[in-house]
Homo-oligomer: A and B are copies of this chain.
Amino acid sequence: MVLWWTWGLWRAALAQPGAGSLSAGIRGASGASGPYAAAGELRGEPDRYGGISVRLGALERLDAAVFQRRLEAAIQQWRSEGRVAVWLHIPILQSQCIAPAASLGFCFHHAESYSSTLALWLGEGPSRLPGYATHQVGVAGAVFDESTRKILVVQDRNKLKNMWKFPGGLSEPGEDIGDTAVREVFEETGIKSEFRSLLSIRQQHTNPGAFGKSDMYIICRLKPCSFTINFCQHECLRCEWMDLNDLVKTENTTPITSRVASLLLYGYREGFDKIDLTMEELPAVYTGLFYKLYHKELPENYKIMTGMD
């Protein structure tokens, strides 16, 4: 499906009359509106995709019925202008405006902390509005000490009793994959480590632990910088430096841990370049920011060919 936002379809609506104005909303549409007049002004800001955004103020309480009348009038106006969508940004203390908006066809797009965002599709056919985040990201660290062939493993106190696994946990908002692995390993085991590579990616859907959303679970190879275990008693039942061969052979482990253990043994014997996805920072085209890209290491002579790098 074509999504208008990130993967962008610049709507023809942009070329329509009135689309350029910065205050496309309405004022005083409901006539006499009593004590809610000032806060009740519905002002919309057009976006470049032919939609309109309305941000409700947080300070003055809006009356639900007045809001509904104004919103209804505004929607008529925006529809006549050829707008394809309306976004409503509602501070949590103005949530009495949500049900009135819902009765006019809006539904939740997302909500977080102290604000919710509702959307209404006015364009033709099914909504082409982009969805919200669909995945949580969990990261585990396989801390492997080449000099002793030992790997750091834990047993969960709760969920996976007696199953050896790698320490790990959910990424915090805005956190890089490698940083999550290093942080979680330290919090669970007390071991300091450095990111080396990304080893595997797992995708799982309709996860109850992810509130029905999808889950991406990534295992990284880390190099230990300290060796004295001081594990978190709340989370772990046991924590050990285990010989990699033993982890490969044990049945007391999850399929994914077992698989990654075999992968590590292969890398240990034949070279980690056989299994590693290495990380590099590359520039984003428009923003000037950098992002992290992971792929199989490319020989130097192949990198030189590359146009813009």
Which residues of A pack against B, CB within 8 Å? 1-3, 5-10, 64, 92-96, 98-99, 102-103, 107-117, 130-138, 156-160, 163, 168-174, 176-177, 187, 198-207, 209-211, 213-216, 232, 234-235, 248-251, 253-256, 258-263, 265-266, 274-277, 282-285, 289, 291-296, 298-299, 302-303, 305-309
Contacts and interface: CB of A to CB of B under 8 A. Distances in A.
20 contacts: A8-B158, A9-B235, A95-B96, A96-B96, A102-B114, A110-B111, A134-B135, A135-B135, A135-B137, A135-B216, A137-B216, A160-B285, A174-B205, A176-B203, A199-B295, A201-B294, A204-B289, A255-B306, A260-B295, A261-B306
A214 B291 CA distance: 11
A258 B309 contact: yes
Nearest to A250: B307
A261 B302 CA distance: 10
Q: What 8 pairs across the A-B complex have the smallest Cβ distances?
A: A95-B98, A111-B111, A6-B209, A200-B295, A108-B111, A133-B133, A133-B213, A204-B291
Contacts of A160: 285
A234 to B, nearest CB: 5
A7 B168 CA distance: 8
Contacts of A200: 277, 293-295
Contacts of A259: 282, 293, 295, 298, 306, 309
B132 A133 contact: yes
A242 to B, nearest CB: 13
Contact of A234 (B2, B201, B216): B2
Nearest to A200: B295
Contacts of A294: 200-203
Contacts of A289: 204
B9 A170 contact: no
Given A9-B157, A10-B157, A110-B112, 5 more contacts: A96-B96, A108-B113, A203-B294, A255-B308, A259-B282
Of the candidates A116, A253, A296, the one having the most CB atoms from chain B within 10 angstroms of its own CB is: A296
A274 B94 CA distance: 56
Given A111-B111, A116-B108, A203-B177, A2 B170 contact: no
Contacts of A209: 5-6, 130
A305 B262 contact: yes
A298 B110 contact: no
Contacts of A98: 92, 95, 98, 116
Contacts of A282: 202, 255-256, 259
Contacts of A215: 6
A110 B154 CA distance: 32
